[in-house]
Structure formats: C-alpha cells, structure tokens
Amino acid sequence: MGTPLGGAQRAQFFPDAKRLFSCPFFPSVKTFDDLGLVAPLLRGVKAQGYTHPTPIQEQAIPPLLAERDLLGCAQTGTGKTAAFALPILQHLHEDPTEGRRYIRCLVLTPTRELAAQIEEAFINYGRYVDVRHKVIFGGVNQNPQVAALRAGFDVLVATPGRLLDLEGQGHVDLSGVEFFVLDEADRMLDMGFIHDIRRVLKLLPEDRQNLLFSATMPDSIVTLAGGFLTNPLKVEVTPQSSTVEAVEQQVMFVSRGDKRHLLADILEGPTVTRSIVFTRTKHGANRLTQQLNKRGIEAAAIHGNKSQNARSRALDGFRAGSINVLVATDIAARGIDVDDVSHVFNFDIPHEPEVYVHRIGRTGRAGRAGIAITLCEGGDQGDDLRQIERLIGTEVPVVTDHQYHDESCIPPPGGSGGGGSRRGGGG
Ligand code: AMP
C-alpha cells in the first residue's frame, strides 16, 4: 500500500475531492482575514510571517470553523497543520472550559518528531489565545506527562503507543474529546498502528468533529475514514507538475563513498551560488556538513535536533549569503523560505517520491531556472529513483561526465521494488 493513486483510481476513491496545488508553488489570492478567523489567531499567524493561506488552509479553514468533518489527502509541507490547528484553536477559544481543563482535542500522529512539530504549531498559532496543549510520546519519562495530565489542558498531541499506555494506567480521560485529528494516517497504518487507532476511537465520545489527513488514499485509508468521518469535506493537495518542468533535473550515479567528493566538486564550481543539500538523517546532515566545512565550503546543517537559535542563525547566514550551502533533512527544510536557490542536491534520495517534488520545488522559483542534482548510489536508492520517475512521468537525465561515475549504481529500468512501500522517514 501507500503508492500515490493514479488518476482513475483517485477518481474512484476520491470522486468529489477538491484538487488543489500545494503551498510553495501556488499561493492563494485570499488573505487570512478572509477565512473567518478571530483577531488573536490572525495575530498569531502574522507573527509567523505568513501573508497568504496555502490552498489547503483556504479550502479547509472555513468549513472546519463550521464544524464539518474533513478528509484531507495532503502531505507535510502543504500547511495542513495550520489548516486544522487554527479552526480548533478558534473553537476552543470561543467556547472556553469553565473550571478544570480536560482534553477537548486529540491529535494522533505516528512519530514523536511529527508530534513535537504539531505541538510547536499549536504554540505558535495559539500564542494569543488561552488554550493549553501538551505533547505526549514514548521513549521519555512518563512522570512529567502524568503530572501535566493531572493539571489539565485542552489539546493533546500524542503518538498512539504512549497514549494507550497512559490510558491503561488510568491517567488519560478521552471522554470529553470534541475534536479528533488523525494525522498521517497512511504512515500510521504502515507502522502497524491500525489496532491502536481502533482502540483510541473506542475511547472517544460519539459526538465530535473528525479530521483525517493522509498523504495517499489507498483502500485501507478509505475504509478507515468511512468508519468514523461523517459527510466529510474532501480536499486533495497535489504538487503542481509544472514545478518539476521548470527545474532542470539531473542524476549522477556514484558510489556511497564518493558522493561527498562529487558533491564538494560541484559545490566548488562557479554556477552553484546558493544550494540546499538534502540528507535522510540528522546524523547524515551533521557529518556531511563537517566534511564540507573541512574542504573550506561554507555549509551549515539544519534539522530537528538543532536549537531554534542555531536554526535561525543558519537561515540568516544563508539569506545573507555568508553560508552558501544548507544541509537539511526534509522536515527541517519545510521552514526554509528563501528565493534564489540555484541548486537543490539530493545527497540521499527520499523514500517518498512526492518528497522529491517538494525538494526540487525549492529551486527554480518565481520563473528562475533552477537545477536539481540527484546523487544515486544504487540499491534501495536506485529503486527510489525509479519510483520518482514513475511519479513525475519522465526519466531524470543522467550526467556521466564526472570522475566518480559508477555504472554499478545504475538501477534496472523501472526499478525492482514496484510495490511502492513507504518506509518511515528520517526527520
Ligand atoms: P505543514 O504542512 O503544516 O507541516 O507546514 C509546512 C510548512 O509551511 C511549515 O514550516 C509551516 O510553518 C509553513 N506554513 C504553513 N502555512 C503557511 C503559510 N500560510 N504561509 C507560509 N508558510 C506556511
């Protein structure tokens, strides 16, 4: 499961969805003031520097304010978090709890990274309203979480395992939930959370507003959604294909050990003025940054383990031109909004083909030519390359005139995987 739907399939499962183009590529003409949001939330949004809603925000916020259920086919990077967080914050702000707070909104998400990001969104957008939230995930001491649950708050962002664990211990009461968000549903199912989801659903009261977001809409998600959404608004956000066309794409086949040398050689060339290099893992981003720095290349890493200060410093340097190369993981890169990126490098090929489209959309903005260079070491990454080519409907041109070209890294045409399984992302 997990492959993006083809046109016919999509029409079958998602017949009346509004198809939208995703955030960075297709800004809305509406402003946030047009969406019915109250002043303190508008202030929060403006404090984030957002001027226009993304398509999913424009489409989803008004119906969500009117208490509709929502089925959103959208991946991260589209602005979906604000699309659900803002209306929920507004409902909670307009109808505050009297007395002790209790969990009125549950956001269920597969990974701790995503949970932490969603919490951050609630903090940022909800800065000027009196709504309290808490994030709960496994792998850390449960005591502070239990203490917070005792004290009471309005919005709980949680991963399923720890949530059910604490619920089993009698620390979590979900009987007052009015808003339920199931985020990254396809990834949840891939990670084997279906039984946990069903258990959580049983703990919720009948009468509530439901939102489900998924990057893909395979049968299993459609069935799951049918089980608990009522007459949902369906919104589908797809990257605009012309973005792909505006970018000159290249792939270079190179062994894993030579990738960093090849990258450094290209970065030192005259045409690369400002570039973003994508790695799969935070550790990989750190290591590569150090290696580039050793070669005298001004590079900085940006990922979820960096403090907000370190991220801001790196971004400011990148904007100002003192840092020419940002080495980023996908999740961290979503916050990067810089024009004039001459090159995007896929140092590692993303597992999810849609992520490739998002990555290369970082260059070639505003009608300028951009170049996206993918370094392919074969193996798994070769399969991922073929999946990308299936998604974008064309083969990425191969460049062989470099000293590290390695024929053995070229995957068979069409790839050996074929199934399109989605493995968990690095973050
Ligand atoms: P999401 O898809 O919710 O994870 O958001 C992706 C990224 O887009 C995050 O870094 C957000 O801060 C950013 N973002 C969300 N909405 C907007 C907006 N209306 N304008 C500019 N950036 C946004």
| pLDDT by 10s per residue, the chain, length 427 | 333 444 433 444 455 555 554 433 344 568 899 999 999 999 999 999 888 898 899 999 999 999 999 999 887 778 899 999 999 999 999 999 999 999 999 999 998 888 998 999 999 999 999 999 999 999 899 999 999 999 999 999 999 999 999 999 999 999 999 999 999 998 898 888 999 999 999 999 999 999 999 987 888 899 999 999 999 999 988 654 445 667 899 999 999 999 999 999 999 988 898 999 999 999 999 999 999 999 999 999 988 777 778 888 888 899 888 999 999 988 766 656 677 889 999 999 998 887 888 788 777 655 567 899 999 999 999 999 998 888 787 899 999 999 999 999 999 886 444 333 333 333 3
User: From the CA of 4, how far away is ligand 1's center (Å)?
Assistant: 22
For ligand 1, whether the C-beta of 334 sits within 6 Å is yes
Note the pLDDT of residue 307: 77
What torsion do the CA atoms of 62, 64, 70, 74 make, to the nearest 10 degrees?
60
- 3-state class of 142 per DSSP? coil
Beta carbons within 10 angstroms of residue 55's beta carbon: 27
For ligand 1, whether the C-beta of 79 sits within 6 Å is yes
For ligand 1, whether the C-beta of 111 sits within 6 Å is no
For ligand 1, whether the C-beta of 214 sits within 6 Å is no
For ligand 1, whether the C-beta of 311 sits within 6 Å is no
d(CA 337, CA 95): 35
Q: Edge-to-edge, what's the strand order for the sheet holding 247-253?
A: 247-253, 370-376, 343-346, 275-278, 325-328, 299-302
User: From the CA of 43, how far away is ligand 1's center (Å)?
Assistant: 16
For ligand 1, whether the C-beta of 335 sits within 6 Å is yes
- 3-state class of 108 per DSSP? strand
Note the pLDDT of residue 361: 77
CA-nearest residue, atom 8 of ligand 1: 79
d(CA 384, CA 391): 11
Note the pLDDT of residue 322: 92
Note the pLDDT of residue 229: 96
What are the percentages of helix, strand and coil residues in the chain, rounded to 5? 45, 15, 40
Q: Which of 125, 308, 334, when mutated, tests ligand 1's pocket best, judged by the most ligand atoms within 8 Å of its CB?
A: 334
For ligand 1, whether the C-beta of 213 sits within 6 Å is no
As given in the structure block, the two tokens for residue 289 are 């940054």
CA-nearest residue, atom 1 of ligand 1: 79
CA-nearest residue, atom 19 of ligand 1: 53
